[in-house]
Amino acid sequence: MINSTSAKTRFIVSVAANFGRSGISFFTGLLVARGLTPSGYGDYSFLLGSFTAIRSLLDMGSSTAFYTFIAQKPRCRRFYLMYFAWLALQFAITVLLLTVLMPQAIVHKVWLGHSLDVILLAFVASFMQQQVWQTLNQIGEAARKTVRVQTISMAVGITHLALVSILLINGWLSVSMLFWLIIGEYILATIWSFRLLRQRADEPGNGNVEPFFFRATLEEYKKYCKPLVLVAWAGFIYEFADRWMLQRFGGSGQQGFYQIAFQFSAVSLLATSSILNVFWKEIAEAHGREDEARVALVYHKVNRGLVMFGAILSGLLIPWTEQIVTVFLGQAYLMAVPVLMIMFLYPIHQSMGQIGGTMLLASGNTHSYMVISLVMLLVSLPLSYLAQAPSSNLLPGLGLGAMGMALKMVLLGIVSVNVQAWVIARQHKWKYNWSYQVIGISAAVGAGFLSKWVVGIFSDVSTMTNKFTLIIPFLAATAIYTVLIAGLIWMVPWLVGMDREEIRDALRKLRVLQN
């Protein structure tokens, strides 16, 4: 009988569900991008993304504290109700700011001319998706109810794809309608999954639940979140300013090109998003037991494995960037080709950064997380201005638009995650190693171009614009690429945090499953 609460089972279920749901989300995003055109898609992304930034400002690290606390040990019902009251307060404050406290002239300038109705819709959609739904996911993961959480998430994704398809076919697709869809879907999903909260608290398998004391709990949050408040403010400025400057200087079209490139590149983050909550739970629990050997084992294997996974997927896709844009998005998005090519490199180090950040937060090391994040965020802001501001400004920039944003994201990402990894290595007295990044990423990208070149000897893929004619050349290149990557991992297994005996053992288990 399968143990649905084991880390291995939860990881497998998370990966499988996230691949399925992300595939659905990816194709939904393509429908939205084609239906709204680059300009409309840019407005949609800007509005939704602006409130993702505001979320970090209001959250102040409380969501990470909440998940870390419930992952460490069982909590009583009032602990959860206290956090939901905090979410309700965040909602009320934002609505009051937008409708009463903030002058409408400022609202108009901040959101670059969008109407208050659309702005409010974007906020509610973002709040339901990013705060309420994320909280229920965290409760489910902390209770090791990964299967149930992923099932509901998959249902939401399928429903959204079906409804977007209906809107597109009937010509009803618009920015406002998309926000209404998101709100409705996540309200229903929240009601459906709210049982997770009731079953998490005081259930027999949880052992003894500590009594709830409001002041003690508040102090617990205060101690954890205090170093994260500055990070939240800086994170808000960084994320909002990036989107705002791209919308202001480049326009909604450039915003659309960058966002669609970001969406394609996020395919490489599938494995990371799948394992992040499971990883957080295991690190928090091992740290709570002071089991440093377990912490080291989990961190190194997950970190290297995910970096290499991102490199492998990106290495396959980068050579086919022009064909991907032409086939999936059409001529309107051709200017996004160089942006997408650069952005395919972004998720590799983003995976490493998310794992490193989770490592620091799950072990309660919020001070180091704060310092690293603040320094990198402060560096990011002037770089964004330099990359995007027009040369005619009083303080001139390069006016690179979406291309400038992509270059900044990739280069700064490489620097920031390696600083983070170095700090983690110093704290745990591990040897800091960066060579697996250079070797793994270079080899994967090189193998991708070599595979396409070999296929190009027999067919001119540069002239193919139809998805059906591209299928055979792409599959042939993928087969060649798979052989090259398999050979690389066999020759240099430490790139994925394994040795040859572990690879042999994995292959033996695979044969047993096949038989």
Q: Exposed (0-12), middle (13-18) or buried (19+): which is 425, by Cβ within 10 Å? A: middle
- The DSSP code sequence of 162-223 is HHHHHHHHHT---HHHHHHHHHHHHHHHHHHHTHHHHHHTT-GGG-PPPPP-HHHHHHHHHH
Closest C-alpha among 174, 157, 83, 63 to residue 122 = 174
User: Do 262 and 343 meet the contact criterion of CB atoms below 8 Å apart?
Assistant: yes
Which helix or strand (DSSP H or E) is residue 455 part of?
Answer: helix 435-458
For 430, other C-beta atoms within 10 Å of its C-beta total 13
Compute the residue count for the chain: 515
* CA distances for 414 relative to 101, 418, 434, angstroms: 40, 6, 11
In a structure prediction context, what are the per-residue pLDDT tens digits for the chain, which is 515 residues long? 445 455 556 566 666 766 777 778 778 888 888 888 888 888 998 998 888 888 878 888 888 888 888 877 777 888 888 999 999 999 999 999 999 888 888 888 888 888 899 999 999 999 998 888 888 877 877 666 666 777 777 888 888 899 999 998 888 889 999 999 999 988 888 887 776 545 544 443 445 666 777 888 888 888 888 877 877 887 788 788 888 888 888 888 888 888 888 877 776 666 666 677 677 777 777 777 777 777 777 788 888 888 888 889 889 989 998 888 888 887 788 888 898 899 888 888 888 888 888 888 777 777 787 788 788 878 888 898 898 888 888 888 888 888 988 999 899 989 988 988 888 888 888 888 888 888 999 999 999 999 999 998 888 777 666 677 888 899 999 999 999 999 999 898 888 877 788 788 877 776 765 55
pLDDT for the residue 17:
67
* CA distances for 261 relative to 42, 323, 335, 467, angstroms: 12, 14, 11, 19
User: Do 210 and 361 meet the contact criterion of CB atoms below 8 Å apart?
Assistant: no
Nearest 5 degrees, angle CA 45-CA 276-CA 503? Answer: 125
E strands present in 86-185: none
For 234, other C-beta atoms within 10 Å of its C-beta total 21
pLDDT for the residue 198:
57
Close Cβ partners of 238 (under 8 Å, ≥ 6 residues apart):
53, 377, 380, 381
Alpha-carbon distance of 470 to 253, in angstroms, equals 28
pLDDT for the residue 361:
78
User: Do 212 and 78 meet the contact criterion of CB atoms below 8 Å apart?
Assistant: yes
Task: With 0.75 as the threshold, say if the pTM is over it.
Answer: no
Q: Which two tokens stand for residue 378?
A: 């402060």
pLDDT for the residue 479:
95
Alpha-carbon distance of 54 to 99, in angstroms, equals 16
For 198, other C-beta atoms within 10 Å of its C-beta total 12
User: Do 284 and 362 meet the contact criterion of CB atoms below 8 Å apart?
Assistant: yes
Q: Which two tokens stand for residue 508?
A: 């033996």
What stretches of 289-365 show up as alpha helix (H) in DSSP?
A: 292-317, 321-328, 337-343, 346-362
Alpha-carbon distance of 487 to 458, in angstroms, equals 24
Close Cβ partners of 220 (under 8 Å, ≥ 6 residues apart):
65, 69
* CA distances for 310 relative to 12, 162, 421, angstroms: 17, 29, 17
pLDDT for the residue 315:
92
Close Cβ partners of 155 (under 8 Å, ≥ 6 residues apart):
189
Q: Where along the chain do its domains lie?
A: 7-205+212-433
pLDDT for the residue 217:
85
Alpha-carbon distance of 264 to 259, in angstroms, equals 9
Alpha-carbon distance of 157 to 350, in angstroms, equals 24
Closest C-alpha among 358, 78, 71 to residue 215 = 78
